[in-house]
Structure 1
Amino acid sequence: MSSIKKFQVTFDCAEPERVARFWCEVLGYVAPPPPEGFATWDGYNESLAPENRGSWFACSDPTGVGPRLFFQRVPEGKAVKNRVHLDVRVGTGLVGEERLAVLEAECARLVALGAVRLRLLAADEENEACLVMQDVEGNEFCLD
C-alpha cells in the first residue's frame, strides 16, 4: 500500500501567475505569501535573473484538503488536447434542469474571469450533463 497522502497538480503554461490566479478564483484557492525576505511577489521576481522571473507560481486550498496546484513556464505552447484535466464539481447530486442551471451559472462566472465555453455534453443513460471549457491559456476542464 502506498504511503503517499498528498499530491500536487502541475500545469505547463506561458504565464504561471496569470493561470494560477485564474484557478484561485475558480476553486477558492489562495496564493502563497511571497518567499521569506520579500514583501511582494513582484519584489521576489525582481531579485531573479531576467530569464527566471515569473517562471512559476502556485496556489493551494485554504482548508488543506485539495491538492496544491503548481504552474510552471514552458517554452512551447499547447498543441493538442489535454491528456489529463480537472473536473470542477459544481453540480454534484443535481440532475436535469436544476443541474443545467447550476452549470450555466458557474459557466457565466468563469467566462467573466477569462474562461471559454466549448460545448455542453448532454446527459445520457450513464452520465449527467457537463460543460467542457478552457482556462485562460486554453487548457480544457469540465464543469461537472
Structure 2
Amino acid sequence: MTSKRAARETQITFDCADPAAQAAFWAEALGYRLQDPPGNFATWDEALDAMGVPPERRNDASAIVDPDGTRPRLFFQRVPEPKQAKNRVHLDVRAAPGLTGDARMVALEAEAERLVARGATRLQRYEPAPPLGAGHIVMADPEGNEFCLD
C-alpha cells in the first residue's frame, strides 16, 4: 500500500558573508529575480522598517525566485564563519543543454566569461571524454562556493 504525501517545495540555502551580493550574483547567473517584499510593501526597506529590523541587520538574509515559479527558491543567510572546504553539494548551471563537442565547450566558455565579469572565478576545465564525459567547467561564486557549468 502506498501512502499519499503532500507535494513539498524545495529551497536551496547558502550560508554566506554577504547575502545581498550573493543573491545578486545568482539571480544574474540563473535568470532569477529578487523575491518581492511581503504584504503590500513597495520596497524591502519599507517592509524591514515596519518589522523593526535595524539597518545593521538588513543584510542578514536575501532570497531570489524563478520568475516562472518552477525552479526552487534560493535563500542566502549570513553566517559568521567563512567557507572551510569544498562543497559536498553544488549547483550545475546547464549552460549548454543538447550541445556536444566543440559547440558545447564554446557555449560553456562564453558563459564562464559572462560570469567571471560578474564576480565568479574559473577553477578548472574538463575536456569532453566520450562516452560519458561531455565536458564541463568548474567555477566558484564570489564567496568561493563551487558550481559547474554543464
TM-score, length basis structure 2 = 0.87
Over residues 35-61 of structure 1, what are the superposed CA-to-partner deviations in whole Å (9 max), with x where a residue is unaligned? 336443344455413563211100010
SS state at 1:25 partner: helix
Task: Give the direction of change, closer, same or farther, for the CA distance of 1:68–1:92 in structure 2 (3 Å limit).
Answer: same
- Out of 14-23 and 28-37, give the one that drifted further: 28-37
Gaps of 5+ in 1: none
- 2:139 paired residue among 106, 121, 133: 133
The count of residues paired between Structure 1 and Structure 2 equals: 144
Amino acid of the residue matched to residue 25 of structure 2?
F
1:1-144 to 2 correspondence within 5 Å?
A: 2-36=5-39, 38-45=41-48, 47-49=52-54, 52-125=57-130, 126-144=132-150
**8 Å contact from structure 1 (residues 45, 54) kept in 2:** no
Report the residue type matching 1:36 in the other structure. Answer: G
Secondary structure at the aligned position of 1:10 is classed as strand
The whole-number CA distance in structure 1 between the counterparts of 2:47 and 2:119 is: 26
Task: State the secondary structure of the residue aligned to 2:13.
Answer: strand
- Write the letter of the residue equivalent to 1:8: Q
Q: Normalising to structure 1: TM-score of the pair? A: 0.91
SS at structure 2 position matched to 1:59: strand
Query: In structure 2, what is the Cα distance between the partners aligned to 1:69 and 1:12?
Result: 11
Judge conservation of contact 1:56–1:70 (CA < 8 Å) in 2: yes
Q: How many Å separate the matches in 2 of 1:102 and 1:127?
A: 16
Cα RMSD for the two superposed structures: 1.8
